[in-house]
Amino acid sequence: MTQSAEIKQTERFSFVWLLPLVTVFIGIWMLYKYQVDQGETIFIKMPSAEGITNGKTEIKVRSVKVGIISHTRLSDDQKGVIARAEIDKNYVHLLNEDAKLWLVKPRIDETGITGMTTLLSGVYIEFLPGESEFTSHHFKLLEDPPLIANDIEGGRIKLLSRDAEVIDVGSSVFYKGYKVGQVETATFDWQEQTMRYGVFLRAPYQNLATLNSVFWIHSGLEVDLNADGISIKTGSLSTMLNGGISFAVPEREKPGEIVKDGHIYSLSQDYKTALEQRYFEHDYYIIEFEQSIRGLKVGAPVEYRGTRVGTVVETPAILVVDGTPAHFMSDNTAVPVMIKIEYRRIYHQAKVAKDFWQNNAQLWIERGLRASLKPGNLLTGAVYVDLDFYPDPDPYQVRNLGNYQVFPSVSSGLSVLTNQVSETLAKINKLNVEQSLIQLNSAMNEYQQLATDMRAFINTQQTQSIPAEFATSLDKVSTSMTQFDLTMKQFAKTMADYQQGSPMYHDLNSTIEELKKLTEQLQPLTQSLNEQPNMLIFDKNAPEDLQPRSKQ
């Protein structure tokens, strides 16, 4: 009998399988090594891919390559481009979330000419690391390169402007003519109708910005025509060409506390306006003028005996009383003007000045404090409001117009002079000179008759028998009467010269007539000067002829 063979399978490891295992391991290791060597992948959103070449456009930090653009595609909304970039592993720590990226290419702007080397090498993306502790893999490409690097020491402030001219990004910031900073950003807030500027001040000049600093546009050439005359100021040639922003602490003031980053200032059109905008504590008043206010402009000074205490705000003041504009009311022909009393102009501590003014204003008005218009400059025709004390003014009752207290006023100028001359001539015309001469002539005749009677009385026999002492007295009386008689004769001769028909009477009447004619001639001149104070130098502005229009 044949025995069956027993076959046993023994487990043994085949070295043949080592080869694919090693291959898989090497592949995984190479993939890991590749990923590690690749660094980090970031995504950059940009408006377009102009100048960008996949695999060639580099990302640089201070001209050192740190990455490359590997792929570009349209964004999901098709309003931009998403670029994928690979950052070298040695520079992954630079991917702060506040890092900035922009395209370096040839540029010609207010800062100069830059990026000319890219004409040969091609454009590249400049990477400016940030300072944040958090990292990010998504960035947005800036349209313009930042002017100030994050590693430059200094401080940043903000400026708001409502009526000043627009300043470009990159414009210089000056302190006493020395460049200390630059405008970084300029945006227009359409809701607030305000220009907003971001300003960088280099260290250590950020310490010059204090709480009482004022900022204004430095155009290099400033021409000021006002009630004080003509003022022309010029700066350096570079300032005149490029312009910029200046700031300083007002004269006769000590620097205040140094501000912190992000402090907001107001930007004014010029230095004078910047100084005026400091006086934010004020009260409004209405002044009613019974004369023309031509030449009185908004911003004109309000002065007390040459010292400025306020500013004209509206001329005429737009006030509505009972549904009618205040300057067109039928029962009041005065023209209202709004002013503001600025307390820091009176005293550097506004609260002290305000209490002083409010506690004494009524007393001053009772003593004759009144407002009037005074010519400030004959060349420009500018006038200003003057506060002063006047003797025997018309009594004033405190009242309000709208929501503002009315300040009393008096008329001034050539119109007042003309009115005074007219009143004087009217009084002269009212005098009955002829009747007065007749009465004086009658009195003279009576005095002559008295002198004759006294002389006859002295020469009578009864008077001669009076004792010697009385006779001596009578002699003195006789002498006095003789002198009185001579005086009366001279007076009679003088009065005869003033009788109707005499040359003196004719000359007096002629003088009065000439004065009346002069007054009539002065009245239109006064009216014209009130309407146009500079007409003595410039031609009077003739109003345009009205052209009739059809109803269609």
pLDDT digits (tens, 9 = 90+) for 464-507: 555 555 556 656 656 666 666 666 666 666 655 555 556 656 66
Question: How many other β-carbons are positioned within 10 Å of the β-carbon of residue 379?
Answer: 13
Tell me which H or E stretch contains 225.
strand 221-226
- Cβ pair 183, 173 in contact under 8 A: yes
Rg, the chain, Cα only: 48
Task: Give the pairing type, strands 64-74 and 81-87.
Answer: antiparallel
- Cβ pair 299, 352 in contact under 8 A: no
Tell me which H or E stretch contains 229.
strand 229-234
**Complete DSSP assignment for 284-324:** EEEEEESS--TT--TT-EEEETTEEEEEEEESS---EETTE
pLDDT block averages, 10 residues each, the chain of length 552: 60 68 85 74 90 90 90 90 90 88 77 68 87 88 78 87 80 88 88 88 92 82 56 56 80 84 87 75 87 85 89 84 66 83 82 89 89 81 88 83 86 58 60 63 69 68 58 62 66 59 62 66 61 57 46 44
List the structure tokens of 74.
């349209």
Whether the predicted model's global pTM rises above the 0.95 cut = no
Tell me which H or E stretch contains 19.
helix 18-38
List the structure tokens of 191.
């809701």
Strand ranges for 19-153 from DSSP E: 40-46, 58-61, 64-74, 81-87, 100-104, 107-109, 112-114, 124-128, 138-142
pLDDT digits (tens, 9 = 90+) for 271-326: 877 877 677 778 899 998 888 888 888 888 999 988 888 889 888 888 777 666 76
Integer Cα distance of 22 and 509 in angstroms: 139
Taking alpha carbons only, the member of 385, 362, 378 closest to residue 297 is 385
First vs last C-alpha separation in the chain = 139
Phi-psi region of 227 (alpha: psi -120 to 50; beta: other; left: phi over 0): alpha
Place of tokens 């509505």: 320
